[in-house]
Amino acid sequence: MQPEYDLILASSSPRRRDFLTKMGVCFEIVKPDADESVRVGEEPQAYVRRMACEKASLVADLHPHDVVLAADTVVVCQGQILGKPVDREDAKRILRLLSGRTHEVMTAVCLMKDDVEREIFAETRVTFAPLSEELIDTYVASGESDDKSGAYAVQGVGAMFIDKVEGSVSSVVGLPICQVREALAEFGIKPRTVDASQF
Domain ranges of the chain: 7-198
Tens digit of pLDDT for each residue in 139-160? 999 999 998 999 999 999 999 9
CA 140 to CA 152: how far, in whole Å? 9
- Tell which residue, 113, 5, 121, 122, has the closest CA to residue 56: 113
pLDDT band, residue 193 (cuts 50/70/90): low
Tens digit of pLDDT for each residue in 31-63? 999 999 999 999 999 999 999 999 999 999 999
For the segment 12-16, the average pLDDT, to the nearest whole number, is 91
Contacts of 64 (CB under 8 A, 6+ apart): 114
pLDDT band, residue 71 (cuts 50/70/90): very high
Of the listed ranges 37-41, 96-100, 125-129, 190-194, the least confidently predicted one is: 190-194
pLDDT band, residue 75 (cuts 50/70/90): very high
Whole-model pTM over 0.85: yes
Q: Which of 18, 33, 35, 72 is catalytic?
A: 72
- For the chain, strand residue ranges (E) read 7-9, 27-29, 68-77, 80-82, 102-113, 116-128, 162-166
The answer to whether 72 is a known catalytic residue is yes
The answer on pLDDT for 199 being more than 60 is no
Q: Which CATH architecture has domain 7-198?
A: Alpha-Beta Complex (3.90)
CA 96 to CA 117: how far, in whole Å? 39
- Tell which residue, 174, 167, 122, has the closest CA to residue 148: 174
Give the residues across from 69 on adjacent strands. Answer: 9, 111
- Percent of the chain topping pLDDT 90: 87
